[in-house]
């Protein structure tokens, strides 16, 4: 395949990390919604608001070989956008869609961790939306798509870690779930994993997650301790009397060892020296 990549939402948390990871190696283009000088003056960045615009003109101009949507919004608007993307992918010989799905497609299961081929079952709006979108995408020829299911995403500048630091700074509540068993990943590792998947032109369903699991509360107790954060008020939320699982694990589609990650590595990534320094300031 060619090497032109279009990232929808390249100014967001996931999209921007992917953009920076892929830019040195591929011909990368991105879209942004909110006006920012750094994007407006960038020739490979296109302004796009899915509530107001159609993506067709951008697709026709760039003619991407890989499309990675990372934007969120109204479900109905997203469905319209994805229909345009699917039409383009299907009508273009050399093009593949990388769909970022979520662990939420399994949030009605509860008793066990979930693997790539498990039956999808969700009770949340996000999960039901992702299931519907996955089913639509699977109608494409297998060479035309990759479904990437993501767990909780952590890392130094991730929203969850920023929220934890804010809770410490302002003596505020931070919700934890003592009976919930989860898996996780870092934004850095996810970007590397997607880079590898594009480079090898892989297809199928991937769980871009840690190889192991942990209780939600234990994970944040450990990160809080290692970051040296004080004054966090942990609000314990019990959704059931027994342990329930909201963990996705890789099994059928395993990436090479150096593209896998453990929770110990994830915790280390969240407590890098720069994070410790920022807390001390």
The answer as to whether 255 is a domain residue is no
| Residues 233 and 146 occupy one common structural domain | no
| Residues 178 and 188 occupy one common structural domain | no
| Residues 135 and 116 occupy one common structural domain | yes
Transcribe 170-205 into DSSP letters: TT-EEEE-TTEEE-EEEHHHHHHHHHHHHHTT--EE
Give the model's confidence band at 212: pLDDT under 50 very low, under 70 low, under 90 confident, else very high: very high
| Residues 131 and 81 occupy one common structural domain | yes
The answer as to whether 134 is a domain residue is yes
| Residues 161 and 222 occupy one common structural domain | yes
CATH code assigned at 57 = 3.40.50.720
Pairing mode of beta strands 180-182, 214-215:
antiparallel
**pTM, rounded to two decimals:** 0.93
- Gap between the Cα atoms of 156 and 159, Å rounded: 9
Contacts of 19 (CB under 8 A, 6+ apart): 7, 10, 28, 30
| Residues 11 and 126 occupy one common structural domain | yes
| pLDDT digit string, tens, across residues 153-199 | 999 889 999 999 999 999 999 999 999 999 999 999 999 999 999 99
Kindly tell me if the per-residue pLDDT of 53 is higher than 90: no
For residue 234, the cross-strand partners are: 174
Pairing mode of beta strands 180-182, 145-150:
unpaired
| Residues 178 and 193 occupy one common structural domain | no
What are the percentages of helix, strand and coil residues in the chain, rounded to 5? 40, 20, 40
Cα distances (Å, whole numbers) of residue 168 to 189, 232, 275: 26, 5, 13
Chain centroid to Cα 83, Å, comes to 21
| pLDDT digit string, tens, across residues 7-48 | 999 999 999 999 999 999 999 999 998 766 555 566 688 999
| Residues 55 and 175 occupy one common structural domain | no
| Residues 167 and 195 occupy one common structural domain | no
- Gap between the Cα atoms of 279 and 48, Å rounded: 36
What's the number of domains the chain is made of?
A: 2
For residue 274, give its domain range. 155-182+213-247+265-280
| pLDDT digit string, tens, across residues 111-153 | 899 999 999 999 999 999 999 999 999 999 999 999 999 999 9
177 φ, ψ to 5°?
A: -125, 95
The answer as to whether 11 is a domain residue is yes
The answer as to whether 256 is a domain residue is no
152 φ, ψ to 5°?
A: -60, 135
The answer as to whether 260 is a domain residue is no
């Amino acid at each position: 395949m060619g090497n032109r990549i279009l990232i929808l939402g390249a100014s967001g948390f996931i999209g921007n990390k992917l953009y920076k990871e892929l830019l040195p190696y591929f011909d990368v283009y991105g879209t942004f919604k909110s006006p920012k000088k750094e994007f407006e003056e960038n020739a490979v960045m296109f302004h796009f608001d899915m509530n107001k615009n159609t993506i067709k003109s951008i697709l026709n101009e760039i003619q991407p070989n890989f499309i990675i949507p990372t934007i969120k919004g109204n479900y109905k608007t997203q469905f319209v956008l994805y229909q345009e993307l699917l039409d383009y992918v299907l009508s273009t010989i050399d093009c593949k869609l990388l769909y970022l799905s979520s662990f939420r497609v399994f949030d009605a299961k509860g008793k066990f961790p979930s693997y790539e081929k498990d039956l999808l079952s969700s009770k949340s709006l996000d999960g039901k939306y992702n299931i519907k979108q996955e089913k639509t995408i699977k109608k494409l020829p297998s060479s035309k798509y990759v479904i990437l299911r993501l767990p909780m995403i952590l890392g130094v500048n991730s929203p969850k870690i920023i929220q934890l630091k804010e809770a410490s700074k302002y003596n505020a509540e931070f919700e934890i779930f003592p009976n919930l068993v989860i898996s996780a990943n870092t934004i850095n590792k996810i970007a590397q994993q997607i880079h590898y998947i594009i480079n090898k032109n892989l297809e199928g369903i991937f769980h871009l997650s840690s190889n192991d699991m942990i209780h939600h509360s234990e994970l944040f107790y450990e990160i809080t301790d290692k970051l040296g954060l004080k004054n966090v008020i942990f609000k314990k939320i019990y959704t059931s009397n027994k342990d329930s699982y909201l963990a996705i694990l890789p099994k059928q589609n395993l990436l090479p060892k150096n593209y896998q990650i453990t929770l110990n590595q994830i915790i280390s990534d969240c407590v890098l020296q720069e994070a410790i320094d920022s807390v001390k300031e």
